[in-house]
Structure 1
Amino acid sequence: MHLDTQLVAALLVFGLIALASRQIGTFFTRIHFPLVTGFLLTGILAGPQVLQVVSTGSLARVYFLDQIALGFIGFAAGAHLYLPEFKSRFRTIRWVTLGLVMSTYTLSTLAVYLLSGAIPFMATLPAPARFGIALMAAAIMVARSPSSAIAVINELRASGPFTRMVLGVTVTMDVVVIILFTISSSVADALLGQLGLRFSLVLLVVAEIVMAAGLGVILGKIISLLSTIPVNGVLKGILLLACNYLVFPFSSFLHHLSRDSWEMEIFLEPLLVCMVAGFVVTNFSASRTEFQRLVDLVGPTVYITFFTLVGASLAFDTLLQTWHIALLLFSVRLLGIFMGSVAGGMAAGDPWRLNRISWMTFVTQAGIGLGLAREVAVEFPEWGEAFAAMMIAVIILNQLVGPPLFKWALHMAGESHVRAGRRDLRGLPVAFIFGLEGQSLALARQLNAHGWLVHVLTLKSEPIEEVPERGIEIVPMLDLSPASLEKIGAGKAQAIVALLRDEENLEIC
């Protein structure tokens, strides 16, 4: 068996860069910048255009890491779309989403097309090709960042109808963006090939979306079965990543097969397949909690890897040439968000005091947008890297400005509760139940089913039987002293239920 020493060397070098990226990202959070910004900056500095710690050839060898991360981002987007959490605000979510998509996509398409003469890689292309590129850029500019939204909500302990609406719109937009990008990239492919727009192309795009959704459903069922395997969580996480990675070579195989054998090009968008799979597991299986646990387990490592790779692959020279274009596109996107959120809120009948500030919660961008920009870079190598650099510049601006605006909006809406109680990293409320018995476990199951992270605390000394439900943690305690309660963080929980003896319950209070 031949060992690819160059691949091993590239992985070792990139592993060291990723470790540094994690530390730099943590430092950025201390000065109130997003983690993602630190990861991107580390990649830029270590990349072949600045310090040259990693070469262009090494980046090409570890490209499979990029695909693994992209598939995982699709899974995570689907996992966030848990329907029961958004039913109460469905009308507002529907109208605001529609308003945001229509206004942002339309204005962004027009802006990129009108500015194409000033964009170096677009200036020499024919008008249809420039329009196709504008469609893909606009689809990326529609994207939001659920991870950034959840981080801000968690930081401020925010809760209420406005917060639920914002999170619902943000997550729903991931679904819309991937479908919109699938359509836009198919149309752009036809325009760039100067094939024109035909009715058969429309049918092909619809067929591709249906096929991708069908494959996603099958993949979701497979992941549901994998989640039930009684193996170590890390091994399950590796299997999860393997599943999402295999979508990419399958999509490439089908693309080449259809082009060579069937006189048509069928391309199944891998991100759409993975997102549908995550949605199916989350909403139509008994493995939702275990799947979410795996996403949370693997997520931090995947995000560090992906964003650092994006930074290292960034065409920095092109970024410097197009920064003024990026600033203009950033401004156009803000205008589109304001118009769309206000129009959608008014159509839904929401009060003006919320409509006038809701736009501030939809500015952040990160994973999906960066992932789609990278896809364009790979699919269209002639100008894709320059396109990705321009779009990443816009995304970085949004990610710098977005979180502070989001915090300000939650404060103005009166749903910021900084001292109100602890939530986990996903933004889930945390409950502590004292007492391990049938009644406490039944209550824990009910809370867990409604999206709570539950800790059941017990003073029993005998061995604790494993609880089958995920999301319910059994925590043994030696006593109920203030020091012990402080150690487990009980004082910061959103809910405490005491089911011990009266004197012990009183001691907890």
Structure 2
Amino acid sequence: MQAVSSSSISSSSSRLDAAARRAGVLDRSSAVTIQLLCWQGSNQLRLPQITGYLVSGIICGPYVLGILSQESVTDLTIIEGACLGIIGLAAGAELLLSELNRSKKQVVSLTAGVCVMTWLLCYFAIKWSASLTPVLPTVSASQLTAIASLGGTLMMARSPASAIAVLKEMDAKGPFVSLVMGVVVLKDVVVIVLFALNMELVPMMVSQDSAAFGLVHMLLPLLSVGVSITAGLLGGYLMSLALQFQLHSMAVPAIMAAGLNGGAPPAVLLVRCKQLMVLLLSTVVFSITRSLEAEPLLACVTAGMVLANRRPVGAANDLSHDELTALINSIMKVTNVAFFGLAGASLKLAAIADSVWVAVVVFFARLAAIMFGSWLGCRFGGVKQELHQQCFWMSMITQAGVAMGLARIAGTAFSGWGPAFQTLMMAIIMVNMLTGPPFFRAALIKVGEARSQFLPSHAHTRACTGTAHASQSSCLQTAVTASSLVIQAAASWWALPRPSQAGGTP
């Protein structure tokens, strides 16, 4: 009798394990399929790719389909350090000091004008409109001041990746484009520095202890920023040496000898090892800086600036700036999927819906601030071209990766009101993400630097035809990939042991 019971228990356990494995396979394949379709949809709508990743995360998250549980989302946050490290590295790598020197007066003036006006108007807009949403819990006056200050700082951010995507799509080049990119990159560096200071000041702002405002405590934010910059300088120098002497190439023979290359040729394996080395080093810089209780994202931005502006030493293996940017972008294609998918999975749709009115108020306040700040910057920076003065504000609207990354950091740093703050910021950032690219395209066309708009008719027809074929091919490829994933999942499900194979029927 005891043997029969043991056999029955073993049979039931085997069936449960098999069912769990089948459910896991189907859930993973469904998540990948949804992500592919959302990514393709964002491309068709000419939105940033991270929009697709974010939407797919929302759909797969615990608040919609439940493919990812709340526990899974929490467990996967350990990879955020690697993702944020690459985001910071990419932002810093865009800042070339040699290009900034060409029009530094205009760039600095516009950056100052837009940043100051954006912070001021968005700060008061958030404080005034906080009562319009039930998302924010009952907070004290000091906490509301901290939330408004952090929110105003995040609203200053602009997405370099989205700007570059629009420029490539429009094949845009010229003095207006150079001015815009200089301001975009410098503004994001300024935002990250100010965000680091805010993150150190917020605990003192909400503290009831008067000793928190002593001289020593007031100097701690500056010390934290100094430690972050120092860590970034050292990390960037070590990355530069590692890339220059191709330390990653030492791993290729060992991988080939062990048969772990998966059929990839040595050239492809070399690129993958280089990507892995940069990812690991940026993660190390991020983790060490965080362990020192400094600002890890600022450290990674500094490391990216060192990599982009290092002096060539004449070595044949030294990377150019374009090669460095391509390398970092190839890594971001992977890390962005994970980071923004997790960011979407952690969002509560009901809370976002409750934040709509605040998002609208802050959006228009930010728009007015950008327009007025751009006018001030052009006036005091000596921007002579009238069209540039009229259209510059249209290039500063889009927000994406950096702003979302900072919102995510703030959301996890403050346990009380942090998640509500992250949800509110995500709602505002998504509005800016959707409305910004069309404004930027219109500005490029108006100033006459969108070269794809002025192709000869025959070439334009060929370009449109090629785009259509590429789009159809991409759609077909996505459909085939999704279908193959479903078929693979079904095959894996069918291959798992049936109840009759797992020890007989009970």
> Are 2:433 and 1:399 equivalent residues in the alignment?
yes
Of stretches 83-92 and 325-334 in structure 1, the one that deviates more from structure 2 is 83-92
Does the CA contact (< 8 Å) of 1:89 and 1:161 recur in 2? no
Alignment partner, residue 331 of structure 2:
298
Alignment partner, residue 449 of structure 2:
415
Alignment partner, residue 153 of structure 2:
139
Amino acid at match of 2:45: I
For the structure 1 residues 17 and 240, does the alpha-carbon distance in structure 2 shift closer, same or farther, using more than 3 Å as the test?
farther
Alignment partner, residue 63 of structure 1:
77
- Ranges of 4+ aligned residues in structure 1 off by more than 6 Å: 9-12
Alignment partner, residue 372 of structure 1:
406
CA–CA distance in 2 between the matches of 1:10 and 1:193? 46
Of stretches 312-321 and 286-295 in structure 1, the one that deviates more from structure 2 is 286-295
CA–CA distance in 2 between the matches of 1:65 and 1:374? 13
Question: What is the CA deviation profile of residues 185-244 of structure 1, one whole-angstrom value per residue up to 9, with x for unaligned ones?
Answer: 211121123345443333211111111101000000111122132521211211222222
Alignment partner, residue 26 of structure 1:
40
For the structure 1 residues 19 and 277, does the alpha-carbon distance in structure 2 shift closer, same or farther, using more than 3 Å as the test?
farther
CA–CA distance in 2 between the matches of 1:18 and 1:302? 15
Amino acid at match of 1:244: S
Identify which of 381, 397, 404 aligns with 1:363: 397
Unaligned stretches of 5+ residues in structure 1: 255-266, 422-485, 487-509
CA–CA distance in 2 between the matches of 1:318 and 1:401? 21
| TM-score, normalised with respect to structure 2 | 0.75
CA–CA distance in 2 between the matches of 1:12 and 1:197? 55
Of stretches 156-165 and 297-306 in structure 1, the one that deviates more from structure 2 is 297-306
**Offset of 1:18 from its aligned partner?**
4.8
Unaligned stretches of 5+ residues in structure 2: 1-16, 250-269, 313-317, 456-465, 467-506
Question: What is the CA deviation profile of residues 172-194 of structure 1, one whole-angstrom value per residue up to 9, with x for unaligned ones?
Answer: 11100000101112111211233
Amino acid at match of 2:233: V
**Offset of 1:19 from its aligned partner?**
5.7
Secondary structure, aligned partner of 1:70: helix
Alignment partner, residue 54 of structure 1:
68
Give 1:195-210 correspondences, 5 Å limit.
195=209, 197-210=213-226
Identify which of 330, 342, 345 aligns with 2:375: 342
CA–CA distance in 2 between the matches of 1:222 and 1:15? 39
Secondary structure, aligned partner of 1:415: coil
Does the CA contact (< 8 Å) of 2:231 and 2:289 recur in 1? no
**Offset of 1:288 from its aligned partner?**
4.5
Alignment partner, residue 102 of structure 1:
116
Alignment partner, residue 440 of structure 1:
none
The sequence identity of aligned pairs, in percent, is: 32
Question: What is the CA deviation profile of residues 266-290 of structure 1, one whole-angstrom value per residue up to 9, with x for unaligned ones?
Answer: x311110000001001102444525
Identify which of 144, 150, 153 aligns with 1:130: 144
Give 1:485-500 correspondences, 5 Å limit.
none
**Offset of 1:124 from its aligned partner?**
2.1
CA–CA distance in 2 between the matches of 1:10 and 1:140? 38
Give 1:41-440 correspondences, 5 Å limit.
41-120=55-134, 122=136, 124-195=138-209, 197-227=213-243, 228-229=245-246, 231=249, 232-254=270-292, 267-286=293-312, 287-289=318-320, 290-350=323-383, 351-418=385-452
Amino acid at match of 2:129: L
Q: Which has the higher helix share?
A: 2
For the structure 1 residues 31 and 292, does the alpha-carbon distance in structure 2 shift closer, same or farther, using more than 3 Å as the test?
closer
Does the CA contact (< 8 Å) of 2:135 and 2:355 recur in 1? no
**Offset of 1:11 from its aligned partner?**
11
Does the CA contact (< 8 Å) of 2:286 and 2:300 recur in 1? no
Secondary structure, aligned partner of 1:62: helix
Does the CA contact (< 8 Å) of 1:282 and 1:288 recur in 2? no
| TM-score, normalised with respect to structure 1 | 0.75
CA–CA distance in 2 between the matches of 1:32 and 1:105? 29
